[in-house]
Amino acid sequence: MKNIIDEKNFTPQELEWLHLAQQMGHQAGKVLRNYFRRRDLGIQDKGNAYDIVTEADKASERLILDLIHDLFPDHAVLSEESGDDHRHARCQWIIDPLDGTVNYSAGIATYCISIGLKVAGETRMGYVYAPTLDEEFYAIKGKGAYGPYGRLQAKDTTELQRAVISTGFPYDKATNPDNNLDRFARVMPRVRGIRRLGSAAMDLCYVAAGWLDGYWELNLKEWDACAGELIALEAGATVKRYRNDHGICILAACPGIATELLDLVQ
C-alpha cells in the first residue's frame, strides 16, 4: 500500500483492513472518474432539491459492498445509499460511496470515497480517497494518520485571526432556522478566511494534513464523519462531537484554536 511509512507499524489484521479499503477506494474511484462530468448521471432528489443521489453513487456503493461481502461475509455494513443492514456483528464498515455528491453532480472535483471500520463499536480504521486528485488519507487507531506526503500532523496555529476554517450547511437549511448561518456570521470576522469544500470527509482530512486550521458542521451522518474523524484525531487535531440534537455536529481544529472556535459555533 503506497504512502504507509512503515508497514511494520501495523498488525497483519490492520494491514488487511487498509489494503481492502484501498482496493475498494481505488476501484470505486475508477467508477466515479468514468461518470464524472457526464450528462447522464441520473440525478435524483432524496427528499428535497439539496440532497441528491446519482447513478455514480449507486455504482460506487455496489462495488464496495460486493467486495466487503465477498471478503468479510460476517461483517455488518452501514452505507449512505443502502442504510444499515441491521446485522449484529463485531465489525461494521461505515461507507460513503461518494461524499460531495452536489460537487460531483456539478462537475466540481472536490469529492471522495469514505470508508471507516468499527470494531465492537469503536472506530479502528479510517480511509478516504479523492479520485480526481488521486490523494488518499488513512489512519489506524493509535498508529497515526497518513496522507499523500507521509505522516499527517495538524497545524500548530494558536491565533484564530490567522486561521483558515471550513464549514458546511445542512440539507434542511431552507426549512430549519438552525442552519449554521448565524455561526458563519460569528466566525467570519474572526478568521483569515472561511471555505466551503462540500465534502465533510475531505474537510476532516484537510485539518489532519494541516491544510485547514479548523472545520465545523451540523447535522452530519455517521458515514460523513466516521473515517475522517479518526484521521483528524490521529493527526493530533482536537475533534469534538459537540451536540446530540441535530445529527452529528462536529468540530475539528488545531488544538491552539479549538476552544475559541468551539465557543463561537456551539
- Report the interhelical angle of 222-234 vs 200-209 (nearest 10°): 0
Residue 119: how many other CB atoms lie within 10 Å: 16
The single residue listed with the C-alpha cell 474523524 is 229
Pairing of strands 76-79, 91-99: parallel
What confidence tens digit (pLDDT) does each residue in 53-66 have?
889 999 999 999 99
Please report which helix (H) or strand (E) contains residue 103, including its range.
Answer: helix 101-106
Range of the domain at 15: 7-151
For the segment 11-56, what is each residue's pLDDT rounded down to a tens digit? 999 999 999 999 999 999 999 999 999 988 888 877 777 677 889 9
Q: Taking CA 154 as the corner, what is the angle to CA 194 and CA 96, rounded to the nearest 5 degrees?
A: 70
pLDDT by residue (tens digit) across 121-177?
A: 999 999 999 999 999 999 999 999 999 999 999 999 999 999 999 999 988 888 888
* End position of a domain, from candidates 120, 151, 182: 151
Integer angstrom CA distances of residue 127 from 21, 151, 244:
6, 14, 25
Q: Residue 79 is part of a domain; what is its CATH number?
A: 3.30.540.10
The percentage of the chain sitting over the pLDDT mark of 70, rounded to a whole number, equals 97
Q: Quick one: 104 and 164 in the same domain?
A: no
| Residues 179 and 100 both lie in one domain | no
The pLDDT, as a whole number, for residue 6 is 60
Q: Taking Cα atoms as reference points, which of 144, 151, 258, 128 lies closest to residue 201?
A: 128
Give pTM, 2 decimals: 0.94
Where among 84, 118, 151 does a domain terminate? 151
- Mean of the pLDDT values across residues 95-109? 95
| Cα four-point dihedral sign 122, 27, 228, 51 | negative
216, 243: one domain = yes
Domain count, the chain: 2
Same-domain pairing of 129 and 203: no
Strand partners, 146: 138, 151
Q: Is the pLDDT of residue 258 over 70?
A: yes
How far apart, in Å, are the Cα atoms of 61 and each of 65, 184, 260?
A: 6, 33, 38
- Read off the pLDDT of each residue in 105-109 and give the average, rounded to a whole number: 95
Q: Which pLDDT does position 104 carry in this prediction?
A: 94
On whether both 98 and 179 belong to a single domain, the answer is no
Residue 241 within any structural domain of the chain: yes
Specify if 202 maps to a domain: yes
Q: Quick one: 174 and 249 in the same domain?
A: yes
The reply to whether 36 falls in a domain is yes
Residue 92, in any domain of the structure: yes
102 and 61, same structural domain? yes
User: Cα dihedral angle (100, 106, 109, 114), rounded to 10 degrees?
Assistant: 20
From 105, 134, 151, the end of a domain falls on 151
CATH code for the domain of 226: 3.40.190.80
Check whether residue 146 and residue 179 sit in a common domain. Answer: no
Q: Is the pLDDT of residue 98 over 70?
A: yes
Q: Mean pLDDT throughout 116-123?
A: 97
The pLDDT, as a whole number, for residue 254 is 98
Query: Residue 4: which pLDDT band, with cuts at 50, 70 and 90?
Result: low
- Does 1 fall in a domain? no
What's the confidence (pLDDT) of residue 2? 54
Amino acid at site 105 = S
Per-residue pLDDT reduced to its tens digit, 161-180:
999 999 999 888 888 888 99
In this structure, the answer to whether residues 19 and 95 fall within a common structural domain is yes
